[in-house]
C-alpha cells in the first residue's frame, strides 16, 4: 500500500487534513474536466462562424487530447521528480491562456493554437491529483478520496454545457469562453492558499500496490498490467469522446430534439456519472472484485447506448437513457482507480498514472474523429452502436488488468521470499 511522506500506513491523519487535500484536488479536477468541454457545447456557434465541418470540429478535440496524452505521460515524470505544486500551477496557467486564445480567435488556425494550450494545461491534472491522493491522504480514506475525485470530474463535465451555452445565448460564444478563464485563476489562488500542504518536500514513495518493483526510471513500463490499464482507458475514453462531442448532434438529428434540449444530454450524462461515482466509492469499500464492479457498471452503459442507437424510445426517454449511461460509467470509476493503484510499482506513482491516463486522452482524441466521420456520412443514431462497442472492449480489458495485476503480485511475492 502507498504511504505518504511522513505518514504511516496504519495511522490515519485527522479527517480535516485529508478533507482539505481532497477538496483542493477535487476542485482542480473539476476545472480540468470543465475545460475538456470548453469547445464542444459551443460547436453550433463555432461551426456557423467559421463554416467548419464535423471532422474539422472533431479535429479540435483531437488536438486537445493528443497534446494532453503526450504531455500527461511526461507530467508524471515531472511530478515524481519535483512534486505537485509547480506542475499544477503551470497547467492552470495554460488553461487560462487557452480560454483567452479561444475568445480572441479570428481563424481556424487560432482555434488550433488554443486547443494546443488546452491540451498542455489538461496534461498535468491526473498525475498531480493521484500523486497527492496517494501520498497525502490516509490509506483508510483512499476509497472515498477516489470517489470524490471522480465525482468532481463528472461535475465539471456536467457544469460546462449549461454555463457555456447559457452565456453564449445571452452574450455570444466568445464571452462565454472568456468567462471560463476565471475558473483556473480561482484555482491558482486556492492552490497557493493551501501551499504548505501541497508543497511538502519530495520523498520517494513506497509501493503503491502489487506490481513488480521498478528498478529504474522506466522500469514500470515492464509491468503488463500498466498497459492493460492504458488499453482500458483508450476503449472507454473513445466512447466518452463520442458522447461529449456529438451526443447533442445525434439527438438533434435522430430524435428531432431542439438544440437546447439536446445540449442538456451531456449534462444529464455527467450528472449520472457523478451519482455513479458516489455509488462506486461505496462499492469499492464492500467488494474486492474490482473488475466485476467495472463490468456491472459498463454493462448498464452498453444497454442504454444500444437502446438509444436502435431508436426504440422517444427523444425524452433517450435523454433519460443518457443519465443511465453516465451512471454506469461513473460506477466503474473508483474501482478503476483502485486497480491502477494495485498495479503501480514502488516509487512510480506519478509516472504510472501519467502513462495510464494518457490512454484517456488517446481515446478521447480518436473518438471525435471516428464519430464525426460517421455523422458526415449520415450515420447518426448508429454512433451509439459504436459507443457500445467501445465500452464492451473496456469491460474485456478490465478483466485483463485484474489478471495481470494478480500475476505481478504473485511474482513480487515470490521475489520477496527469495530475497528473504
Q: Can you give the pLDDT at residue 8?
A: 36
pLDDT of residue 6: 38
pLDDT reported for residue 175: 95
CB 287 within 8 A of CB 339: no
Distance CA 2, CA 338 (A): 12
Residue with cell 452502436: 385
**3-state DSSP call for residue 136?**
helix
Domain 15-192+214-419 in this protein, CATH class: mainly alpha
Record the pTM: 0.73
Alpha-carbon distance of 314 to 261, in angstroms, equals 13
Would you state the pLDDT for residue 351? Answer: 77
Which pLDDT score is estimated for 281?
A: 78
- Of 138, 157, 150, 126, give the one whose Cα is nearest residue 283: 150
> What pLDDT is attached to residue 206?
42
For the stretch 415-418, contacts whose Cβ atoms lie closer than 8 Å and that sit 24 or more positions apart, written own/partner, are 415/212, 415/213
CA distance 7 to 16: 15
Q: Which residues of the chain have pLDDT under 50?
A: 1-11, 201-215, 410-420
CA 32 – CA 15 distance, rounded (Å)? 25
Distance separating alpha carbons of residues 63 and 61, to the nearest angstrom: 5
pLDDT the model gives residue 346: 63
pLDDT tens-digit map of 300-356: 999 999 999 888 888 889 899 999 999 999 888 888 877 777 776 666 667 777 888
Domain ranges of the chain: 15-192+214-419
Q: Are 127 and 197 within 8 A, CB to CB?
A: no
pLDDT in tens, 266-306: 888 888 888 888 888 777 777 667 778 888 899 999 999 99
Residue 209: what pLDDT?
Answer: 47
Amino acid at each position: 500500500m502507498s504511504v505518504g511522506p511522513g505518514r504511516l500506513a496504519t495511522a490515519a491523519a485527522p479527517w480535516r487534513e485529508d478533507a482539505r487535500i481532497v477538496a483542493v484536488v477535487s476542485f482542480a479536477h473539476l476545472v480540468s474536466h470543465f475545460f475538456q468541454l470548453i469547445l464542444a457545447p459551443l460547436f453550433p456557434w463555432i461551426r456557423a462562424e467559421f463554416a467548419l465541418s464535423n471532422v474539422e470540429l472533431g479535429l479540435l478535440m483531437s488536438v486537445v487530447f493528443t497534446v494532453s496524452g503526450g504531455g500527461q505521460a511526461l507530467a508524471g515524470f515531472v511530478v515524481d521528480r519535483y512534486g505537485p505544486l509547480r506542475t499544477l500551477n503551470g497547467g492552470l496557467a495554460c488553461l487560462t491562456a487557452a480560454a483567452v486564445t479561444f475568445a480572441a480567435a479570428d481563424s481556424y488556425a487560432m482555434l488550433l493554437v488554443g486547443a494546443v494550450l488546452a491540451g498542455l494545461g489538461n496534461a498535468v491534472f491526473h498525475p498531480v491529483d493521484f500523486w497527492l491522493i496517494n501520498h497525502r491522504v490516509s490509506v483508510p480514506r483512499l476509497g472515498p478520496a477516489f470517489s470524490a475525485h471522480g465525482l468532481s470530474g463528472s461535475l465539471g463535465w456536467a457544469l460546462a454545457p449549461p454555463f457555456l451555452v447559457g452565456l453564449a445565448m445571452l452574450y455570444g460564444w466568445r464571452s462565454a469562453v472568456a468567462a471560463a478563464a476565471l475558473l483556473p485563476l480561482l484555482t491558482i489562488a486556492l492552490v497557493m492558499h493551501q501551499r504548505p500542504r501541497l508543497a511538502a518536500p519530495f520523498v520517494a514513495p513506497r509501493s503503491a500496490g502489487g506490481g513488480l518493483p521498478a528498478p529504474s526510471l522506466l522500469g514500470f513500463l515492464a509491468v503488463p498490467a500498466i498497459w492493460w490499464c492504458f488499453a482500458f482507458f483508450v476503449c472507454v475514453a473513445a466512447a466518452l469522446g463520442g458522447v461529449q462531442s456529438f451526443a447533442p448532434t445525434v439527438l438533434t438529428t435522430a430524435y428531432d430534439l431542439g438544440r437546447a434540449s439536446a445540449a442538456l444530454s451531456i449534462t444529464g450524462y455527467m450528472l449520472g456519472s457523478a451519482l455513479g461515482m458516489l455509488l462506486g466509492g461505496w462499492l469499492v469499500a464492500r467488494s474486492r472484485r474490482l473488475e466485476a464492479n467495472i463490468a456491472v457498471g459498463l454493462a448498464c452503459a452498453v444497454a442504454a447506448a444500444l437502446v438509444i442507437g436502435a431508436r426504440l424510445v422517444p427523444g425524452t426517454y433517450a435523454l433519460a437513457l443518457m443519465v443511465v449511461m453516465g451512471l454506469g460509467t461513473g460506477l466503474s470509476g473508483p474501482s478503476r482507480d483502485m486497480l491502477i493503484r494495485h498495479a503501480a510499482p514502488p516509487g512510480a506513482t506519478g509516472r504510472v498514472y501519467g502513462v495510464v491516463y494518457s490512454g484517456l486522452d488517446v481515446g478521447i482524441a480518436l473518438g471525435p474523429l471516428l464519430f464525426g466521420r460517421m455523422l458526415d456520412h449520415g450515420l447518426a443514431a448508429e454512433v451509439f452502436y459504436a459507443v457500445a462497442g467501445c465500452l464492451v472492449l473496456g469491460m474485456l480489458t478490465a478483466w485483463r488488468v485484474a489478471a495481470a495485476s494478480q500475476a505481478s503480485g504473485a511474482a513480487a511475492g515470490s521475489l520477496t521470499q527469495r530475497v528473504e
